[in-house]
Chain A
Amino acid sequence: MDSGYYAACTAMMTQSQALELVANNLANSSTSGFRAQHSVFQSLLASSSGAPMSPLNEAANQYGILQGTRVDVTQGPLEQTGNPLDLAIEGPGFFVVQTPTGRLLTRNGNFHVAHGQLVASDGNPVMGENGVVQIVGVPVSIAPDGTVSVNGAVAGKLKLAEIKPGTPLESAGATYYSAPQSAEIADTHSTIRQGTLESSNVNTVSATVELITIQRQYDLMRRAMSIFDAQFNKTATEDLPRVS
C-alpha cells in the first residue's frame, strides 16, 4: 500500500545525494585538473517477488535512485601561468604519478622539482617513459610530445596514458584518478603545453541549473508526500471509520 509514498521518499533521498555531487563540483570549480562528476539515475522496480506485475502496479513501483557517478572527461580551459613546470594536456591523456598507494593518473600538471626528480604538487614522483624523470639544473623545457630537456640535453620523456573509451574512472582525491591498468593505452592524441595549467572542467552554468532542478524536484516530492499524508491517509483514518 502507498507505494507512491515510498517512491516520493526515495526521490527525495536521491535528490539530496545529487545535491552533494553538485556541491562537490561547485566547490572544486577552481581546482586545477579537476574533472566534474555527473550523477547517473536509474529506475528501480520495487517488487518482493519475481512475479509479473500489472502495468499499473509497475508504474507505481518504479523508484528513481542514484545508480552511480560518471567522471566527465571533457577538456577544461587552459590557463597561462608562465611557470616552466606547469604543464597542461590538450587531448585525452593523463600524467602518471607513482604514489605510496600505487600508480595514479592526474591532469593537474602543477609540477615541481624535489631531490632532482620531477614531482607532482604533493611531492610524489611523475613517471616518464623510462621511470622517474630526473631534472638537475635549469632551464627546463618540455616539448609538446612530452620530451623533457634540461639545459639543452634530453632528460627523458613524460609518460602519458590514455584510457580506453568507456572505461569508468575512479576519483581518488587530490585531483588523482584511477583506472584499471589494462584499460591504459599509450597516448598518441595529446599534446603538452608548457607554462599552462588546465582549469577545472566544471561547467558552473549547468551546475547551477542542476542545483535549481534538484531543489524544485525535491520540493515537488515533498508536496506529493504531503498530499499522500493529508488527503489519502486522512480519508483512511478519519473519514472511513465514520461511514456507517
Chain B
Amino acid sequence: MFRALYTAASGMVAQQLNLDNVANNLANSSTTGFHSRRLQFADLIYQNLIMPGAAATAQTTVASGLQVGLGTRAGASEVMQTQGDFSSTGNPLDVAIQGQGFFQVKLTNGEIAYTRAGTFQLDSQGNLVTADGNPIQPAIAIPSNTTAITIGQDGTVSVTQPGQTAAQQVGSIQLALFPNPGGLNSMGNNLFLATTASGDPILGTPGGAEGLGTLQQGVLEQSNVNVVAEFIQMILAQRSYESNSRVVKAADEMLKDLNGLTQ
C-alpha cells in the first residue's frame, strides 16, 4: 500500500516536470530558431513478488509472475528536429537554413557553439556577428563602403561596392551537422554545445551532399514549437497529475480504514 503512495508520487513529479517543459516551449513559441524539447518517460524497476517461470509444483511452472512496478521517471528531454516555419523579413543579414545544419558561433571564451537563429548583424569592425555580438565561424568581414550584401544558397557571401559592377566575394558561411542533434546541450540564447551524445560536428558548405541544407537570405526560421501539440501535452499532463493524485487519495483512505479497525 505504501508502494502505491510512492508510485503515484513519482507520477506526479514526472507530470510536474512535463508541465515545466511545456511552459518553456510555449514561452519560446516566438523565439527565432528555437527548437522545442519533448520529455521522455521510462518506467522504474519492478518488484517480483512471484517470479515468472518459478516452479509451481514439481511438474509445472507459474505462467505469469506477480510483478509490481514502482512508478515512472523522466528519462530524457529530446530536442525536436522538425523545421520551423519560415518568415520573410527582407533584411539581407537574416539567413535561414533549409535542412539539418547549424551555424557555428565563436563564444568569448573561444568555444564554438551552434545555432539555428540566423539573425546576423555587423559589429563596429564590420564582422558578421549574431544578435549577442558573437562572431560567426569562420569569420566574415564586410568592407565598410558596401552597398549590397548577397548570401548565396551555398553560403557564399559577396558584396557590391560603389563604382564596381561585379560583386566581390568576401567569405563563405560553413554549416555543421550532427549525427545525433537530439543530444545537443542547450545553453540558452539560442545556442547549443556539442556533447559526446550529439557526436562531433561534420563541417561543410551548404548545399553539399552531406545534407546540411541550403541557405535562404532575407528569411528567418521561426520557432518549431507546435502550439496545438503543446496544449494537448498540457492537458494530458494536468489530467495525468489528477489521476495520480486520486491514487494517493485512495491509498490514504484505505490506510484510514485500516487504522479504523483497531478501535
Contacts and interface: CB of A to CB of B under 8 A. Distances in A.
A32 B1 CA distance: 26
Interface string A11-48: 01001110111111011111110100100100000000
Given A31-B42, A171-B43, 12 more contacts: A12-B258, A16-B254, A23-B8, A23-B244, A26-B240, A68-B63, A137-B210, A151-B209, A171-B46, A171-B67, A174-B75, A211-B246
Contact of A28 (B69, B197, B236): B69
A113 B179 contact: yes
Nearest to B209: A151
Interface stretch (B11-19, B23-31, B128-136, B144-152): B11-19
A180 B26 CA distance: 45
B66 A30 contact: no
A218 B239 CA distance: 25
A135 B70 CA distance: 35
Interface stretch (A77-85, A97-105, A234-242): A77-85
Interface of B: 1, 3-5, 7-8, 10-11, 14-15, 18, 38, 40-46, 49-50, 52-53, 62-72, 75-76, 78, 80-82, 100, 177, 179-180, 182-183, 197, 199, 209-211, 236-237, 239-240, 243-244, 246-247, 250-251, 253-254, 257-258, 260-261
6 contacts: A17-B66, A26-B8, A26-B11, A27-B8, A173-B45, A204-B240
B61 to A, nearest CB: 10
Name the prevailing secondary structure of the A interface residues.
mixed
Given A30-B237, A69-B66, A113-B179, A19 B250 contact: yes
A100 to B, nearest CB: 15
A84 B53 CA distance: 38
Contact of B82 (A16, A66, A82): A82
Contact of A173 (B14, B46, B179): B46
A102 B254 CA distance: 40
B68 A17 contact: yes
B64 A68 contact: yes
Contacts of B18: 30
Nearest to B46: A171
Nearest to A226: B261
A204 B242 CA distance: 11
- Scoring A27, A28, A108 by chain B CB atoms within 10 A of each residue's CB, the highest score goes to A27
Contacts of B42: 31, 108, 121-122, 173-175
Given A26-B8, A215-B253, A122 B68 contact: no
B21 to A, nearest CB: 11
Contacts of A168: 52, 63-65
B72 A27 contact: yes
Given A40-B64, A82-B82, A151-B211, A23 B40 contact: no
Contacts of B251: 19, 23
Contact of A32 (B8, B14, B15, B40): B40
B182 A211 contact: no
A112 interface: yes
Rank and list the top 6 A-B pairs by shortest CB-CB distance, nearest first.
Answer: A27-B11, A24-B69, A82-B82, A168-B64, A23-B4, A23-B7
A214 interface: yes
A160 B78 CA distance: 24
A2 interface: no
A113 B180 contact: yes
Contact of A138 (B82, B210, B254): B210
A8 to B, nearest CB: 10
Given A40-B64, A82-B82, A174-B42, A68 B197 contact: no
A174 B71 CA distance: 10
Contacts of B10: 27
